[in-house]
Structure 1
């Protein structure tokens, strides 16, 4: 397969798998022959997703609160007990933000960083010994185009997504000789319920859809492109519309131009 990976019978653990991007990624991995491990807080929602997957009996639901370290440890033990190995870990669980910096409490700042950065770090460090022992596997992180650009109303979210990107870069360098691969995915606007759940400055869900998300890329199309890129072995995966891809390109070529563009953007 020209060095490409495949997913036949591979064990793929996806966090934040009960809806949105995680659910779409689970469906695509199942279609490609993977044994999918679905994780999120609510077992009933995970079971709905599992039952919708191709060959549903091959997949398992493992409920956990990603910010509760004892629950995460227990989930990890359960996955190893039932599947014996982990081939891909997709760190997808996350929480967005829609608030100006001046209106965001420190409690909200910490809550977003806890879910979007520290919990990803903890789970990855927990699972890493299994990958190192296998001398194989791929760890993927769902960052965001916001983590590359930094826009209004998303300061903490952008910061957390940028932080996990840099942490992943360091991890990739450290495990490169051990057969473990690391990928970072940067979604642009994808049509999910992410903006309904995004926190306002007081730490409460925004509870309404953004225009940009509403007209974003279909979640299934996003999942197809993402899984295809991961199978190819891509490490830096930007998936979104022309506007987001242009922003990423300008961020590399001329940060000053990008900053001027962002000031004029309508991103709320």
Structure 2
């Protein structure tokens, strides 16, 4: 029988936990008895998430700007001090984009790469010694179907999400013999504020939703599917609607067909 990891009593650290899929994944893990470490920039929002979870007294809030290396180091020290171990790290904090390449400033290109790639790399490298010492644990990265396909209006975002996928693949190969498992999650359209918060070409929040996101998978459903896949030890996890799943399959079988499909797509 395939293994299934029980989360009861496990310590799960989730970044970007103040809203969206980070918040719903925290709720799903807490419902299964995990002890959560909730990280994002805003303490008050994290605190309200903590209080909404099953057994709120078992969870801790550790606020940090993940693009600030000193804050990340300090957060890690707090986690070890208060929990002593980390069983799962879910690198979820991220920033999307809705702008054409010709309209995107270099400052915005770098800002997206900083949040979606470098901050995940640095946190993982910071936490890695704990996993190596334990000889156990799972590190998960939230990439995106956009990181597998590359569509209009999301060039920098797609590039950053593709980059973290490849970095995770290398990490998996390097730490496999140390009992550490690595998973990459590729969400399709999920109903969250991701589009509202997405950066335009000038690096400001778009401020409104997209039809595809508004009609996407419910965030609670996303969390249930994703956490179950992680418990089953899956390493490549695509969670989305039929269109996104079809796109992923076509991207492997016939890239040329995919490129034609994307050119005709109405994505914004």
In which range does the TM-score fall when normalised by the shorter chain? over 0.9
- Whole-angstrom CA distance in 2 between matches of 1:73 and 1:194: 27
Q: Note the C-alpha offset of 1:196.
A: 0.7
Q: Note the C-alpha offset of 1:2.
A: 4.0
Name 1:36's counterpart in structure 2. Answer: 36
Q: Note the C-alpha offset of 1:245.
A: 0.2
Runs of 4+ off more than 4 Å: none
* Contact kept in structure 1, 2:18 and 2:45, CA below 8 Å: yes
> Counterparts of 1:215-230 in structure 2 under 5 Å?
215-230=215-230
| Structure 1 residue runs without a partner (length 5+) | none
The residue matched to 1:169 in structure 2 has which SS? helix
- Whole-angstrom CA distance in 2 between matches of 1:224 and 1:232: 12
Name 2:192's counterpart in structure 1. Answer: 192
Correspondence 1:149 to 2:149: yes
Name 1:52's counterpart in structure 2. Answer: 52
- Whole-angstrom CA distance in 2 between matches of 1:59 and 1:129: 23
Correspondence 1:65 to 2:65: yes
Name 1:84's counterpart in structure 2. Answer: 84
> Counterparts of 1:163-178 in structure 2 under 5 Å?
163-178=163-178
Name 2:182's counterpart in structure 1. Answer: 182
- Whole-angstrom CA distance in 2 between matches of 1:2 and 1:67: 38
* Contact kept in structure 1, 2:2 and 2:232, CA below 8 Å: no
Name 1:251's counterpart in structure 2. Answer: 251
Q: Note the C-alpha offset of 1:79.
A: 0.4
Name 1:233's counterpart in structure 2. Answer: 233
Task: Provide Cα deviations, 1:31-56, integer angstroms capped at 9, x if missing partner.
Answer: 11100000000000000000000001
Name 1:265's counterpart in structure 2. Answer: 265
- Whole-angstrom CA distance in 2 between matches of 1:31 and 1:231: 14
* Alignment TM-score, normalising by the size of structure 2: 0.99
The residue matched to 1:237 in structure 2 has which SS? strand
Count of residues in Structure 1 that have an aligned counterpart in Structure 2: 268
Q: Alignment RMSD, CA only?
A: 0.6
* Alignment TM-score, normalising by the size of structure 1: 0.99
Correspondence 1:11 to 2:2: no
